[in-house]
Amino acid sequence: MSDTSAPHGIRPGIDGDLTAVTGRLRRITVQVHGAGDGVGSGVIWASDGLIVTNAHVAQDRRVGVVLPDGGSLEARLLAWDPERDLAALAIDAHGLPAADVGDSDSLRVGELVVAVGNPLGLAGAVTAGVIYAIGPRRSVGPSFIQADLRLAPGNSGGPLANAHGHVIGINARVAGGLALAVPSSLVARFLAPLQLRAAAAP
């Protein structure tokens, strides 16, 4: 029986072959350049140029974005929430590959996950692991997905996805040797006011 839940014909990589999944994730992961020399990551959330990243990655009203094909664009800061560590950016582009957003509320401990980002200047680097725990960590704030995988500077703002390639979180930081990601359910709540304003615009 074929798996109809996998996006765009991608089969889950339970057999250990995650190349199709990671290939699509790399196509929706961008580099985000702030005012300093640091480079973070971002996720193309919608094909019209909406990008989600971390608040600590995009701290200026205008930042530079490098697309997976190498194209560089200036992005506008649409929304910024340091408490959730989320930022929304807009670039003037259309028809972009966009994230297949998954349901973070259905995650289970032990589930296979994949992260993509730009650590230490390596564009589109991939790491994989499992869900370690879901819930708050007292030292860093509420509601993070905790995953046992390796992140490095530059991964912040990139996608955390399940084995089907559904983005279920935005990688944020490392604590206690674990990767922490903002759940996609919180991203949806963060973006809701923007979507309401867009729907109401003439």
pLDDT digits (tens, 9 = 90+) for 93-131: 999 999 999 999 999 999 999 999 999 889 999 999 999
85 carries an active-site annotation: yes
Q: Which residues of 42-80 are buried (b: 16+ CB within 10 A; e: fewer)?
A: bbbbbeebbbbbbbbbbeeeebbbbbbeeeebebebbbb
Q: How confident is the model at residue 10 (pLDDT cuts 50, 70, 90)?
A: very low
Active-site annotation holder among 47, 56, 143, 148:
56
Which domains are present in the chain? Answer: 104-187 (2.40.10.10)
Q: How confident is the model at residue 4 (pLDDT cuts 50, 70, 90)?
A: very low
pLDDT over 80 (residue 36): no
**pLDDT attached to residue 18:** 84
Phi, psi for residue 132 in degrees, rounded to 5? -90, -45
Active-site annotation holder among 85, 100, 166, 185:
85
Looking at residue 54, its amino acid is N
pLDDT over 50 (residue 198): yes
Mean pLDDT of the chain: 88
**pLDDT attached to residue 16:** 53
Whole-angstrom Cα distance, residue 10 to residue 116? 17
Looking at residue 193, its amino acid is P
**pLDDT attached to residue 65:** 97
Alpha-helical (H) ranges within the chain are 19-27, 184-200
Question: Which tops the pLDDT comparison, 85 or 198?
Answer: 85
166 carries an active-site annotation: no
Active-site annotation holder among 156, 166, 184, 185:
156
Q: Under DSSP, is residue 152 helix (H, G, I), strand (E, B) or coil?
A: coil
**pLDDT attached to residue 146:** 95
Q: How confident is the model at residue 2 (pLDDT cuts 50, 70, 90)?
A: very low
**pLDDT attached to residue 187:** 97
Note whether 46 and 98 are within 8 A (CB): yes
**pLDDT attached to residue 34:** 82
Residue with tokens 């664009």: 73
Q: What is the per-residue pLDDT across 146-194, written as a single tens digit (0 to 9) for each?
A: 999 999 999 999 999 999 999 999 999 999 999 999 999 999 999 999 8
Whole-angstrom Cα distance, residue 23 to residue 35? 29
Average pLDDT of the residues in 72-84: 95
**pLDDT attached to residue 6:** 46
Average pLDDT of the residues in 50-76: 94
72 carries an active-site annotation: no
